[in-house]
Amino acid sequence: MLDPIFLSLKVSLIASCFVFVVGLATARITARNVFAGKDVVESLFMLPMVLPPTVLGYGLLVLIGKRSALGGLLMDMGIQLIFTWWAAVLASAVVAFPLMYQSAKAAFTSIDLSLEHAARTLGSGEFRIFFHITLPLAWPGILAGLILSFARALGEFGATLMVAGNIPGKTQTIPLAIYSAVETGDNEIAQKLVLVITLVSFLTVFWLNRWLRKKVTVWKKGDETRVAVSHP
């Protein structure tokens, strides 16, 4: 029973790292720039959130399958993704990406641009502005997106089943192990795994809520409500 747990945590953590980097970069670009076809690009970014996981899995099969151009190229290089745990990482990253992207974009757009402009007039470069002003101010929203992406990756089932398969000890994550246990009538294993993934997901979201609550302090002074946000 431990193999699916450790594999799920490994897949979710690696997928979250990919999603964090790509989601942060794309959110920064779309939040600060206007370009032709922006609505189309953003719709494509959000598409994995509304499409059935099986459709995403089929799309990944078409993209990296052995008969595809990319899949054939990878096979020629000695790299096989289909039916490996790396395919599970890819599937989890694809389904979790919209959560990271949307949260990061909302965090970036909520920042007062005058703060960045003031830093530029004082001679700060874009690199320093991003890491010393923009990122700290947007960090609560970014972290929320990262945690939600991890939770979503942890629970991924449909796309993972199609591109990684359900191979015990190799590609079988917790959701796939629960599916197999229910199919074989092993309710004891299924219940234990359900308890584990429910507990991990609950604690993840619970910690996020507590952390955000500490970052936002609300108090009232007379008839006016003020909100103070502390940033790391």
Q: How confident is the model at residue 225 (pLDDT cuts 50, 70, 90)?
A: very low
Beta bridge partners of 217: 228
Residue-wise pLDDT for 11-22, tens only, equals 999 999 999 999
Residue-wise pLDDT for 135-152, tens only, equals 988 998 999 999 999 999
Contact in structure between 118 and 129 (CB atoms under 8 Å): no
As a whole number of angstroms, the distance between CA 156 and CA 161 comes to 9
As a whole number of angstroms, the distance between CA 231 and CA 199 comes to 29
- CATH topology (fold) of 2-229: MetI-like fold (1.10.3720)
Sole residue written with tokens 């993840």:
204
Give the pLDDT of residue 99: 95
The secondary element (H helix, E strand) that includes residue 217 is: strand 216-221
Give the pLDDT of residue 150: 95
Give the pLDDT of residue 215: 67
DSSP state of 131: I
Enumerate the domain spans of the chain: 2-229
pTM of the model: 0.86
Q: What are phi and psi of 216, to 5 degrees?
A: -115, 115
Sole residue written with tokens 């229910």:
182
As a whole number of angstroms, the distance between CA 196 and CA 74 comes to 36
Provide mean pLDDT across the span 194-217.
84
Percent with pLDDT over 90 in the chain? 57
- Whether residue 162 has pLDDT greater than 80: yes
Provide mean pLDDT across the span 211-220.
60
- Whether residue 197 has pLDDT greater than 80: yes
Give the pLDDT of residue 219: 37
As a whole number of angstroms, the distance between CA 170 and CA 83 comes to 9
- When computed from its CA atoms, the radius of gyration of the chain, rounded to whole angstroms, is 21
Contact in structure between 73 and 108 (CB atoms under 8 Å): no
Name which residue leads in pLDDT, 88 or 1: 88
Tally of CB atoms within 10 A around 69: 9
Residue-wise pLDDT for 205-215, tens only, equals 898 888 877 76
Provide mean pLDDT across the span 41-63.
92
Give the pLDDT of residue 216: 60
Sole residue written with tokens 């530029």:
120
Q: What totals of helices (H) and strands (E) does the chain contain, helices first?
A: 11, 2
Give the pLDDT of residue 68: 82
Tokens of 74: 């990878």
How distant is the alpha carbon of residue 218 from its chain centre?
Answer: 29
